[in-house]
Amino acid sequence: RLFRPMLNMQRMLQSAIRACLPIFDPNELLECIKKLVEIDREWVPYSNAASLYIRPVFIGTEPSLGLKITTKALLYVILSPVGPYFSKGTLDSVSLWADPKYVRAWKGGTGDCKVGGNYGASLYAQSEALAAGCQQVLWLYGDEHNITEAGTMNLFIYWINENGEEELVTPPLDGVILPGVVRQSILDLTRKWNQFKVEERSVTMKELVNASKQNRVKEMFGSGTACVLCPVSQILYQGENLHIPTMENGPKLTAQLFDNLADIQYGKMKSDWTLLVV
């Protein structure tokens, strides 16, 4: 089964347009991927803790040096069996290093595109996070230290907001945030549940620190294709460790979402989000 493949195809197309790569047909690419998975189906792990990671790659191949729009490009797909994304294992919490001196993306840039430059430029900050004893970078943006993403993940906060409402909030798609497929799936699921308020809006570190001091934060987690969901338990910010009680609270919501997504992805729950290949 492929999980919401057309969302991935459309995002890749938009990224290609932004990078001035030649246009391709998303439906045709999806048919090629389906055939490739069918041929290599024995590489799909027989495990609920592993999956076959599909990585389409699109690169310019203009045979010249210089900065210009390419007229030739190569579109290919890599398949790789993968286990849990983090070495600690699935749904083990991670710590984040938040320092505004490094920025992952900015408005008007390519933060909302799936391009290699976004990731290559993040490695130095990641090395500082590891040196500080943290596992991932919490990317901040602007003078207000707006929370954007964690490592290569979209980010969610489950808390009691300032109005006393139970709320799940994630940063908005304002050009800085990658429109993650798992992110959209979490929004779709929780809005369908209608159990609490679900919002896409900016959250600053000041808001998060204040909520933490007032014991209003319930859970915090990252989401992405590789990790699916990853709980956050600690944030190192301005020399202080901010404890996030995700694991002490279950993590109830994180685990519920993870189980629901896994059931859909592995065919245990009927959904039009999956495309059966073989």
Q: List pLDDT tens digits, range 167-214.
A: 999 999 999 999 999 999 999 999 999 999 999 999 999 999 999 999
Asked if residue 274 belongs to a domain, the reply is no
Encoded tokens for 263 = 């059931």
Encoded tokens for 272 = 């039009």
Split into its structural domains, the chain has a count of: 2
Contact call for residues 184 and 10 (beta carbons, < 8 A): no
3-state secondary structure 241-272: EEECCCCCCCCHHHHHHHHHHHHHHCCCCCCC
**Which residue, 83, 102, 132, sits at the end of a domain?**
83
Q: How far is CA 46 from CA 43, 52, 67, 147, 252, in A?
A: 9, 10, 46, 37, 27
Q: Do residues 50 and 128 share a domain? A: no
The per-residue pLDDT for 175 is 95
Asked if pLDDT for residue 128 goes beyond 90, the answer is yes
Asked if residue 110 belongs to a domain, the reply is yes
Global pTM reads 0.94
Q: Do residues 103 and 78 share a domain? A: no
The per-residue pLDDT for 90 is 58
Torsion of CA 82, 85, 34, 25, to 10 degrees: -140
Asked if residue 213 belongs to a domain, the reply is yes
The per-residue pLDDT for 227 is 80
Contact call for residues 119 and 152 (beta carbons, < 8 A): yes
Q: Do residues 180 and 66 share a domain? A: no
More confident position, 227 or 188 = 188
Domain residue limits at 146:
94-264
Q: How many helices (H) and strands (E) are present in the chain, helices listed first?
A: 7, 13
The per-residue pLDDT for 28 is 98
Mean pLDDT of 227-240: 94
Q: Do residues 192 and 220 share a domain? A: yes
Cβ neighbourhood burial of 14 (10 Å; 0-12, 13-18, 19+): middle
The per-residue pLDDT for 89 is 52
CATH number of the domain where residue 229 is located = 3.20.10.10
Q: Side-chain half-sphere of 30: how many Cα atoms within 13 Å? A: 20
Contact call for residues 219 and 158 (beta carbons, < 8 A): yes
Choose the weakest-confidence range: 46-60, 159-173, 237-251.
46-60
Q: List pLDDT tens digits, range 182-192.
A: 999 999 999 99
